Amino acid sequence: MRAVVRNDKNRAFGRARLGLAVLAVATITSGCAQEGGDGARPAAGQQPLDAPPARALDSYATKLRAAHAARVAAARRWGLRKVPLTAPAPPAQKPRITTRKGFEVDGHREFDLPPVFTTVPTKDKVVFLTIDDGAEKDPEFLRMTRELRIPYTAFLSDYLVKEDYAYFGKMQAQGAALNNHTLHHPYLPALSYARQKREICGMQDVIEERYGKRPVLFRPPFGNYDRATLHAAKACGIRYVPLWNEEVFVDRWEYREWDRALHPGDIVLSHFRGREHWKGAMPDMIRRFLNKVTAEGYAVGRLEDYL
């Protein structure tokens, strides 16, 4: 009898051990199912729903909302009618830039001279703001373009810039590209090739020395050039000669085209000018510029991103 009881106890103990083993397996299986969904750990590259990439997306969305809110506040602060539109991402494949018909010089293609153009070929509804010379050095202009995140390209002349090189250094630090507008802003076609080259290459040297980068964009003063100008520009390392299709002032717009309208890829000209020359300050010009382009559904792109 005792033997029978002892055997029953052994059998009961064995069943209990088996039950615990089954429970342990079930627990492990359940844990694996939570990790991989099929009883295995996630495959390489597979992430649970609460993995860091999801949190990174949330963080990115939060930053986007904050940036938009800041831009809305800036637009209100600077008296804009609407919030400026955000430019599309730069094109992965840059458009082919050619000289505008009627703007060629003799031997333009033969000597592979820099293209002269007023519009960038693109379907993006963007325009490009370019500002010439460097006479006015308004800190409010820097503040306004920084707060609104408006890109622009500067074409500088040394006889004006040298009054305050640091001002344009701040401009560069904010993301503006500093390019060549000659040393002394002369009417270039009246000069010999050698003198034109000194004007262009000399400004290349100044910008490289002061701002650390040799430009590849050049705008001739007044938009005037001849074959010697483009040969000299090429010899100085210039690759593009952008002119403009519209010009904006504090009180008006002027147009090159007969339709007096903006077009995708148009280059817009303005100048570093203040109340001494205009009926207003540079922020007034930026306000007029942004109110028009935004109302017509255009964003402001960065010219260098399309070249």
Residue 81: inside a domain: no
Residue 64: inside a domain: no
pLDDT for residue 48:
52
**How does DSSP classify residue 40?**
S
Q: Write out the E strands in 14-125.
A: 116-117
Contact 243, 263 (CB under 8 A): no
- 57 — pLDDT class (breaks 50, 70, 90): confident
Residue 74: inside a domain: no
Q: What is the pLDDT of residues 78-136, one digit of tens each?
A: 999 999 999 999 999 999 999 999 999 999 999 999 999 999 999 999 999 999 999 99
Q: What is the pLDDT of residues 41-50, one digit of tens each?
A: 444 444 454 5
pLDDT higher than 80, residue 248: yes
- 12 — pLDDT class (breaks 50, 70, 90): very low
CB-facing half-sphere around the CA of 235: CA atoms within 13 A: 16
Which residue segment(s) compose the domain that 155 sits in?
90-306
pLDDT for residue 13:
41
Lowest mean pLDDT among 7-11, 146-150, 191-195: 7-11
Beta strand 241-242 pairing with 126-133: unpaired
Residue 72: inside a domain: no
pLDDT for residue 66:
83
CATH of the domain at 283: 3.20.20.370
